[in-house]
A and B are shown apart, each in its own frame.
Chain A
Amino acid sequence: MSWIRIAWRNLLAKPLSTGLSTILLAFGVGLVSLLMLTERQLDQAFRRNIEDIDLVLGAKGSPLQLILANVYHIDAPTGNIRLSDARQVMTHPYIEKAIPLAYGDNFQRYRIVGTEPSYPAHYGMQLAEGRLWEAPFEATIGAQVARESGLKVGDTFFSAHGLVDETDVHGDLAFTVVGIFEEGQCVVDQLLLCNIESIWGVHEKPETEPAESSPPADEEQAPTEAPTEAPTETSSDTPAPSPRAGAMRIGPGGVVMGTVGPQTGGKDPDGDREITAVLLKKRNPLAVLTIPNLLKETNMQVALPAIEVNRLTQNFGIGMGTLRAIAWLIIALSFASIFISVYDSLLARRYELALMRSMGASRGGIYRSLLWEGGLLSVMGAALGLIMSRLGLWVMAQLVADAFHYNLAGMELMWGEVYLACGAIFVGLIAAAIPGISAIRLDISRTLSDG
């Protein structure tokens, strides 16, 4: 026999009240903990992917969409931009690094992104096996893609048109997997990377062989002249600022359809080649001010990932704040519930408590047994809450993974949760301690006489 055992048996003797108190506290703790976990997850996922990306260049439209589409690959792109136009920005002296991206196809809903080796290098991706792509229609794929699709080095696959639809397969041109990346905890895990020519190739092939035969854009020959001339050069290179709507088609998902027409191969080595976006790292802080000015007259824009992500998380924040308020309300309710439970227990067991006093129990002993009741309740509630929040996160991860191929892992206990659990246990103890005072004041003689 011990005070904790007596407390435990008393809790078991009133399962409904005990269950209600425990569940209320578990919900409160679980909700707060779930919010903490989600925030950490989102924060990690968002921060990791915008590391060292200062600007994203893309077609005009929602800047947030531009970021979501091109950095996180969870939204449709805003449109396409002409490579020749993009070059003006990519070669700007304020820009240290420029990573072009071109995409519009998917394999089992994972995006096939044409880019340069600097893209995986930017995220520090390591190869698990195989090598990086070199020739067109070679692909190096992310770890999650490999895991989910079962693709191995040497396998071939066909791309499907669009970013989400798997029905319209480009059945004539097969990609070959030449390498698989190690898990990088970033967006590359969910992508199939190839060179940009492959993307163009997929969409040009059905139209004209000559377009394909003309040598792919030679990056080194792109204009690298004086940066200050960039704006004027833009206008001189493209006399008509791309009203060639007839010459190209943009698919539903902002898909690069390649170009149709004889203009290709003119004076501009990039011709009408289009890409989706360019990730930029600035060399000079002024880039943030200068580059947007360069783009005023074009169909392009730059967006700042840091600002857009902040805006997004602030929007989340309002919802999170509401949920958090609800969670604290539930915790307050559970406080009331434990309070009532212990108080009720006291009223119902006044005689039992007096009896125990008459058998030698001290005031302290009685008080301790009541504290144990509150303590046990809150420990169970807090533990259940932390388990529930992990279950909740897991369910959310499944849902989010299905929708976006986004992976929310990381169930390890956070310090914030330890504080939360301690706080919940403290709440339970206080809720028991207050009614417990009346147990200390209990008049044993009178209670026994009345019984």
Chain B
Amino acid sequence: MIETHNLRFRYSPQTPEWTFPDVQCAAGERLLLLGASGSGKTTLLHLMSGLLKPASGQIRLANTDWSTLSGAAADRFRGRHVGIVFQRPHFVQSLTVAENLGLPLFLAGLAPDPARVRELLEALGIGDKAGARPRDLSVGEQQRAGIARALVHRPSVVFADEPTSALDDRSTEAVVSLLEHHSAQVGASLLIVTHDNRLRDRYPRHLSLSPLTSDSPLS
């Protein structure tokens, strides 16, 4: 689960302060965060995943207040509880696809789980790519491998940052379905951050971000 309260942030004293609407998403639930470019979608995502620190306000993730964590402890906590699907999935190019999927487990200090890695790759239809280099995968395959990597360590919250912006309608449908299905399977909250209006209709719950506004009501 993830919830934020009165979140404010500014990159530097010279830049204007962002004010974000409160976010609430329980375990197993999903939430769409809609906003145009520059509305602070990615900033909010980074705040919630602990990559940025807010100027004020509270973020609770898996019943823990981010502000109580710092340094290596915060890194470890993020490793255990957060999974992120990036817009363009980057990988550690010197490692194979399977090794890239093993990375979140290693980095979070969890035991290696080759069976889980294989099972996820199979479930996402790229089981035959386990030994391949990430750069040898097609864009669609990379996107699926990125989803697998975000889920392999059974995180509490999965953040997806514009997961569909580069995809056509059919692929969008498939990717979102996979995300929903596998997040539900591990009981994670799923937050999709996007400006893609195709997703709006799928989601009964969505939160609209507008630049530098302080109050956007839940719709």
Do A and B truly interact?
yes
Interface residues of A (CB under 8 A from B): 1-2, 6, 9-10, 12-13, 349, 351-352, 355-365, 444-445, 448-449, 451
Q: Is the CB of A360 within 8 A of B112?
A: no
Q: Is the CB of B86 within 8 A of A451?
A: yes
**Docked CA distance A364–B99 (Å):** 21
Q: Which residues of B contact A355 (CB under 8 A)?
A: 86, 90-92
Interface residues of B (CB under 8 A from A): 42-43, 46, 49, 51-52, 71-72, 75-76, 78-80, 82, 84, 86, 88, 90-95, 99, 102-109, 112, 149
Q: Which residues of B contact A351 (CB under 8 A)?
A: 90
Q: Is the CB of B75 within 8 A of A352?
A: no
Q: A1-B106, A1-B112, A448-B51 are in contact. Are A360 and B79 (CB under 8 A)?
A: yes
In chain B, what residue has the closest Cβ to A348?
B93
Q: Is the CB of B79 within 8 A of A451?
A: no
Q: Which residues of B contact A2 (CB under 8 A)?
A: 106
Q: Which residues of B contact A365 (CB under 8 A)?
A: 75, 107
Q: Which residues of A contact B49 (CB under 8 A)?
A: 358
In chain B, what residue has the closest Cβ to A3?
B106
Known: A1-B99, A6-B95. 10 other contacts (CB 8 A): A1-B103, A2-B106, A356-B107, A357-B51, A358-B78, A359-B84, A361-B75, A362-B72, A362-B76, A363-B71
Q: Is the CB of A1 within 8 A of B51?
A: no
Min CB distance A359 to B, Å, is: 5
Q: Which residues of B contact A352 (CB under 8 A)?
A: 90-93
Q: Which residues of A contact B43 (CB under 8 A)?
A: 445
Q: A1-B103, A2-B106 are in contact. Are A361 and B42 (CB under 8 A)?
A: no
A12: which of B42, B82, B94, B105 is its contact (CB, 8 Å)?
A: B94
User: Interface centre among A2, A13, A445, A449, by most B CB within 10 Å?
Assistant: A445
Min CB distance A445 to B, Å, is: 4
A448: which of B46, B80, B105, B149 is its contact (CB, 8 Å)?
A: B46
**Docked CA distance A445–B88 (Å):** 15
Min CB distance B84 to A, Å, is: 6
Total number of A-B contacts with CB less than 8 angstroms?
80
Q: Is the CB of B93 within 8 A of A13?
A: yes
Q: Is the CB of A360 within 8 A of B80?
A: yes
In chain A, what residue has the closest Cβ to B46?
A445
Q: A12-B94, A445-B46, A451-B90 are in contact. Are A359 and B107 (CB under 8 A)?
A: yes
Q: Is the CB of A359 within 8 A of B104?
A: yes
Q: Is the CB of A361 within 8 A of B102?
A: no
Q: Is the CB of A360 within 8 A of B94?
A: no
Q: Is the CB of A359 within 8 A of B94?
A: no
User: Interface centre among B42, B52, B107, by most A CB within 10 Å?
Assistant: B107
Q: Which residues of A contact B71 (CB under 8 A)?
A: 362-363
Q: Which residues of A contact B76 (CB under 8 A)?
A: 360, 362
Min CB distance B8 to A, Å, is: 16
**Docked CA distance A38–B72 (Å):** 51
In chain A, what residue has the closest Cβ to B84?
A358
Q: Is the CB of A361 within 8 A of B46?
A: no
**Docked CA distance A145–B80 (Å):** 74
B108: which of A359, A444, A445 is its contact (CB, 8 Å)?
A: A359
Q: A362-B72, A445-B51, A445-B52 are in contact. Are A356 and B46 (CB under 8 A)?
A: no
Q: Is the CB of A10 within 8 A of B75?
A: no
Q: Which residues of B contact A361 (CB under 8 A)?
A: 75, 79, 107
List, sorted by A's number, 27 A–B pairs whose CB atoms are closer than 8 Å: A2-B106, A9-B95, A9-B99, A10-B94, A12-B94, A352-B91, A355-B90, A356-B92, A358-B51, A358-B82, A358-B84, A359-B107, A360-B75, A360-B80, A360-B107, A361-B75, A362-B75, A363-B72, A364-B72, A365-B107, A444-B51, A445-B43, A448-B46, A449-B46, A451-B86, A451-B88, A451-B90
Min CB distance B93 to A, Å, is: 7
**Docked CA distance A111–B218 (Å):** 105
In chain A, what residue has the closest Cβ to B110?
A360
User: Interface centre among A2, A10, A357, A360, by most B CB within 10 Å?
Assistant: A360
Q: Which residues of A contact B86 (CB under 8 A)?
A: 355, 448, 451
In chain A, what residue has the closest Cβ to B152?
A359
In chain A, what residue has the closest Cβ to B88?
A451
In chain B, what residue has the closest Cβ to A2?
B106
Q: Which residues of A contact B112 (CB under 8 A)?
A: 1
**Docked CA distance A13–B91 (Å):** 14
Min CB distance A370 to B, Å, is: 13
What are the 10 tightest A-B residue pairs by CB atom distance, in nearest-first order?
A360-B79, A13-B94, A1-B106, A362-B72, A360-B107, A9-B94, A362-B75, A360-B108, A445-B46, A445-B51
Min CB distance B219 to A, Å, is: 27
**Docked CA distance A361–B103 (Å):** 10
Q: Which residues of B contact A444 (CB under 8 A)?
A: 51
Q: A360-B107, A364-B72 are in contact. Are A449 and B78 (CB under 8 A)?
A: no
Min CB distance B123 to A, Å, is: 20
Q: A361-B79, A448-B51 are in contact. Are A356 and B103 (CB under 8 A)?
A: yes
**Docked CA distance A38–B93 (Å):** 45
Q: Is the CB of A359 within 8 A of B88?
A: no
**Docked CA distance A2–B80 (Å):** 17
Q: Is the CB of B75 within 8 A of A6?
A: no
Min CB distance B73 to A, Å, is: 9
Min CB distance B164 to A, Å, is: 17
**Docked CA distance A1–B103 (Å):** 7
In chain B, what residue has the closest Cβ to A9?
B94
Q: Is the CB of A360 within 8 A of B104?
A: yes
**Docked CA distance A1–B80 (Å):** 17
Q: Which residues of A contact B88 (CB under 8 A)?
A: 451
Q: Is the CB of B79 within 8 A of A359?
A: yes
In chain A, what residue has the closest Cβ to B72?
A362
**Docked CA distance A10–B93 (Å):** 8
